[in-house]
Structure 1
């Protein structure tokens, strides 16, 4: 951590050096170092111009988000430094390379002249954290590029290229070569003082504000609306605009939405670290991956790999199914070309990296093989026995099982240490979650390789231990158990779905199961009825399955799908549900949305606590990331365990005990971990710091 100082004639170059992204950290004193360096250069009689640049691979990645949870003065210090730069009586040139994001771009905009290296990117992504640019961005960016363009940039959170920035006026000069040398050249020409905050209010202000305000959509995060409010307040009084921006930033920073989004931001980084894994463990080299199974899942997995540049060999024993899978892969890749996502050369390269076969022997030289056959233990054991004989002894064997015992599968392999679970979520080429299942004997470097592969193909990998359903599906089972109980007690599918979607789920549970297909769930319930007779489900969902209504793929499920895609309520299902309630002697009652959301959420929390206690999940944040990226849990809501901390664990425990005293109370026995944390004033979030893996 340092501000490196170098004198070049009458110019002083200050180079920011604070870790990989040169974060504007107030908590560690780096911002104060910048302030002192600028002040010293400004007071140096031999200095005529100041150049500020970044060390390493970028100019500045923005403020240190960890400061947001600290004292409010930490954020204020960033604002003070930016104000001091703009007020400097000597020209300050910003030399931008790599990236200038968030507070980094706000610092750059306070300079009097900006030079950007070609290929660099500039943006204000604060909206993605439920915040607004809080260090002058809402007041300075519109003055530079106009209100409409500035609002679009801030509301999307997407960075622009240096070329776009030069075209819009965000930067004054674009260079291909060393940006600091270019800045020194400009410095020798005595650039004028042009303070961004003194520039006039853009002429398109009123029109741009009205247009963007009309497009705002309701949601938990108020950041978009507050960004528009700040821009609407633009006037010749810069100080008033900055004061409003600071006040609204503080309100947003304390909001549930921003806290949840920041939890997700840190969580995605935390789950990549595996507690207890020795520092010298390195992933194996994976050059070619085999995929066994050409169904929907196998096809999606192959696409995910090919899209990341990983060569794939697919084996499907049925020639017709293999041909269909290859056609689907080709069609999807070509559609990306048609939509402008990739060029034809890239598409051709992806297809060239794909080979197919109807014999497992084609996988003899694969570095890693992913089994993606039907979710049946007998079928999977047969495949693994064959793979053990065919593949190299050092090849990793992975199962895409979503519920089955990975250790039982690994027992079929002479060296079970090379077996790991890779549970993709459908569609596998789109869904970001990858549950990486560590078996009893999974080798550390095999686990590390699985996580590295997940990152390589753009997934959020989360490690789970072995249990029925692993982390995500085991919890989802309890969620669905309550959904089906709610149906028989008085709720209807459309009410449950609407309540959960309004609360923040991407899709309600009944629509979700129609999309996934009820046949697999029905098979699992039949198995569980034998294995866990003391934990019954409502029979109402089985009645629907008995009618052959397996969801969207069959045209009928809990809903009907006249066009094959759009869910419509079905009076037949309403009658079936009501008749089932009468059959079991249950008087239906009015059930409010608050009860629906509360029971569904508490079911997730309580089972999540059991999973933590058993060591299936390393940390509560692992569970949260699984639900954000695999189950449509609203990102602003942070995840089920984060929500439990917001409610307060004593309150969670009280609600669980009240439910345990009612109908089907056996399903609500509080997890011992919740009882212990509630008694000691603990939080799930505190457990995210275990084993030195702090957020």
Structure 2
């Protein structure tokens, strides 16, 4: 039975009209809902038997905000008229300027446009633990229903501006302390209290307050300008390449100088401009791309149900193993952590404890929750606790023989339905599991470090992995607040394989005479948080040496061989691990370029001997970006051609979450489409003629370029904006930014 979508109004004997939004699951403000709200508010304002109005949402949720699917339609057509007129026609004229008092009864969530509707009401009554926020900036836009004007007037300019710029959500409890919520009542009393409050306003027993007209929390003009100057500095730091943050501050300032209504008009104008911006198109694409990852043909569409994962064993308590264990514990999953001796086991347990303490110290976790999570951990030196585990995740060093031995052993001691997963990042899963008879339950669970913080989870399937196992791991990934992306089995899987040319191209540029610190600077200016050389320092250069032979064997026809990393290690530089790499690392200070490393670079250049005529090449910043990132796009095309990922947009999500590719560029392939496949193909072709096979365009890229086709197909899924804490892509993005 289809769930009814629309807006209803019921008028009680007390003269209160209760207007209810119904658009499951989060009551998003689709065009149909907005039209319904206009109709019901007009009706309520005209009816003589209505003394006051209460606005609420069906199903225990007020509203999750404006229907994001409309943005997608606007981006496809370029037709801004598809955006309904809301901020003046509905919010100002029919709601805030209504002669009849209006109270918002808020439960569950009021996000984006939902909170903006609530702020236009003359009072707000909420149930406990309701979630309140304006997350619009994560989509490249600003609040469009008056939020930039009303929130600062309700909770103060500094707090309101920070809440919008940081896309921060708060609880109704905090909202009451700040003045956003007028009363907090149990869910069962919400409507009764809201009705009474509305009647009290109508009778003059409570004040009739219009948020847009308030100035008591704004302060003087000089105070406001000082606060906004601070906000501009924050915006410059957290979002240097995104327009919406600075635009938002300008709109807030307009309202302070010229009045709230002027600010609303300015907001509407800027909102429409930003909706069509490249940034908004990119961020909306990332939003839909993340949602699309949850749809896996022949897995999520065949009627299977995920099995509960109550107890998981993790083998290996190193950096990855302890991080994986932490992620599981934080979601109340019992964890058995196995190591080979007491010393390593104690280190692993202490690492988990340190991870939890770190979250507590940063205010991300309460001490009570950390203690509860830690109590779910049990350390072991044998397989005695494996007899009832639902899944095993192997996270030991990249050694084929060791992994084969472990999988043979766990097959014998674990239940017959237990999932056997490996966190390997380079080794073929078929090789790992070749000595077992359980190939249908072997799967890759590739976490990214630090595993308890990074939100990407690559689920690697072989031709034998069962659909049930994939579905189970997808469900587990979501339960531990990861974004699972299902990929095929190959060396490097999707992310590491796609990005292996990244560091190789950087090494080629340096051996061609380009300054390595300039390369890092150009790439960070493009939007990645770290350039390739600082990233190598962070990972540790021993890792690059360890996997070099594996990648050489798999992709030798397009590898660039450079002695630079080996020379670096010989000179005692292993990056952040020992305090020296390309940069110097000192506790409490930012990495500093180490000019003494240039002698190592010179030695590499002599051995490589690829500088034309022995002289450094001259390249622009744009050419540096192209020479480093176009080979990455090229490898991504091979990944698509081989069917390693289900859809191109999966690589966009993986690139944002796994490699911190700038979200405001839409992910790797979305960005490539904005540049143009034809341009990338032609540029790579010219580079390959000059510098060899490393740049040779792939067959897939050539085909798309010559046919004038894009790399990423349009996503046609329909979604409602979800609760902020579930919006994991943007949680990850904003954690990286801030």
TM class, shorter-chain normalised? over 0.9
Distance 2:716 2:199 in 1: 51
Superposed CA deviations along residues 217-252 of structure 1, whole A, max 9, x for unmatched, are 431112222222112112565442222112222232
Query: Judging changes above 3 Å, is the alpha-carbon distance between structure 1 residues 140 and 532 closer, same or farther for their aligned structure 2 residues?
Result: closer
Shift in alpha-carbon separation, 1:617–1:589, aligned structure 2, 3 A:
same
User: How much has 1:200 moved relative to structure 2?
Assistant: 4.1
> Where in structure 2 are the equivalents of 1:204-353 lying within 5 Å?
204-214=220-230, 215-218=233-236, 219-234=240-255, 235=257, 237-277=259-299, 278-353=301-376
Aligned CA distance change for structure 1 residues 585 and 11 (closer, same or farther; 3 Å): closer
Contact 2:298–2:467, Cα closer than 8 Å, also in 1: no
Provide the secondary structure at the position in 2 that maps to 1:513.
helix
The superposition leaves residues 488-512 of structure 1 with CA deviations (integer Å, 9 ceiling, x where unpaired) of 0122221111111111111111111
Q: 2:623 is matched with which residue: 595, 607, 612? A: 595
Query: Cα gap change, 1:205/1:254 in structure 2, threshold over 3 Å: closer, same or farther?
Result: farther
Deviation of the 1:335 alpha carbon: 4.3
Q: 2:670: which partner in 1?
A: 642
Greater alpha carbon shift after TM alignment, 257-266 vs 554-563? 554-563
* CA displacement 1:450-481 (0-9 Å, x = unmatched): 11111111111111101110001101211122
1:23 aligns with 28
CA contact (8 A) 1:41 1:50 kept: yes
| Pick aligned residue for 2:393 from 367, 370, 379 | 370
Q: Which of residues 74, 92, 101 in structure 1 aligns to 2:111?
A: 101
Go from structure 1 to structure 2 and tell me whether the alpha carbon gap of 1:551 and 1:188 turns closer, same or farther (over 3 Å shift): closer
| Structure 1 residues 693 and 391: CA distance shift in structure 2, 3 A | farther
Q: Pick from 69, 75, 79 the counterpart of residue 83 of structure 2.
A: 75
Partner of 2:128: 118
Give the drift of 1:613: 1.4
Contact 1:146 1:204 (8 Å CA) reproduced: no
Question: Match for residue 432 of structure 1?
Answer: 455
Does structure 2 retain, via aligned residues, the 8 Å contact 1:294–1:325?
yes
Unmatched 5+ residue regions in structure 1?
none
Match of 1:63 in 2: 66
Q: 3-state DSSP class of the match of 2:585?
A: coil
Please, which moves more after superposition, 158-167 or 451-460?
Answer: 158-167
Moved more, 389-398 or 208-217: 208-217
Paired residues, number: 691
Cα shift at 1:551: 2.3
Q: Show the counterpart of 1:43.
A: 46
Instruction: Give the conservation status (yes or no) of the 8 Å contact 2:119–2:151.
Output: yes
Is 2:601 aligned against 1:582?
Answer: no
Seen in structure 2, the aligned counterparts of structure 1 residues 547 and 197 have a Cα distance that, compared at 3 Å, is closer
C-alpha distance 543-337 of structure 1, shift in aligned 2 (>3 A): closer
Partners of 2:151 and 2:373 in 1: how far apart?
A: 40
Instruction: Give deviations 1:97-131, integer Å, cap 9, x for gaps.
Output: 11111111111122223222222122212222222
| Residue number in structure 2 paired with 1:199 | 214
- Using the size of structure 2 for normalisation, the TM-score is 0.89
Over the aligned positions, Cα root-mean-square deviation in angstroms equals: 2.4
Q: 1:677 maps to what in 2? A: 704
Of residues 606, 611, 616, the one that matches 2:634 is: 606
Over 3 Å counting, the alpha-carbon distance change for 1:469 and 1:121 in structure 2 is same
Verify the 8 A CA contact 1:216 1:225 in the aligned structure 2: no
Q: Distance in 2 between matches of 1:33 and 1:369?
A: 52
Normalised to the residue count of structure 1, the TM-score between the two structures is 0.94
Q: Is the 8 A contact 2:557 2:694 kept in 1?
A: no
Q: 1:150 aligns with which of 141, 145, 160?
A: 160
Residue 63 of structure 1: how far off its partner (Å): 0.7
Separation (CA, whole Å) in 2 of partners of 1:640 and 1:198: 45
Q: What secondary structure is seen at the aligned counterpart in 1 of 2:574?
A: coil
Distance in 2, Cα, partners of 1:410 & 1:178: 58
The answer for unaligned runs of 5 or more in structure 2 is 722-738
> Take 2:369 and 2:551, find their aligned partners in 1: how far apart are those partners?
46
Could you tell which deviates more after superposition, 88-97 or 74-83? 74-83
Deviates more, 1:124-133 or 1:638-647: 124-133
CA 1:585–1:53 in structure 2 vs 1: closer, same or farther (change >3 Å)? closer
Rounded to whole Å, the distance in 2 between the matches of 1:178 and 1:140 is 27
Higher relative contact order (CA 8 A, sep 6+): 2
Change in 2 beyond 3 A, CA 1:155/1:572: closer
The 3 A distance-change label for structure 1 pair 337 and 555 is closer
User: Which residue, out of 450, 454, 457, partners 2:477?
Assistant: 454
Aligned 8 A contact 2:289 2:715 in 1? no
Alignment check: 8 A CA contact 1:147 1:209 kept? no
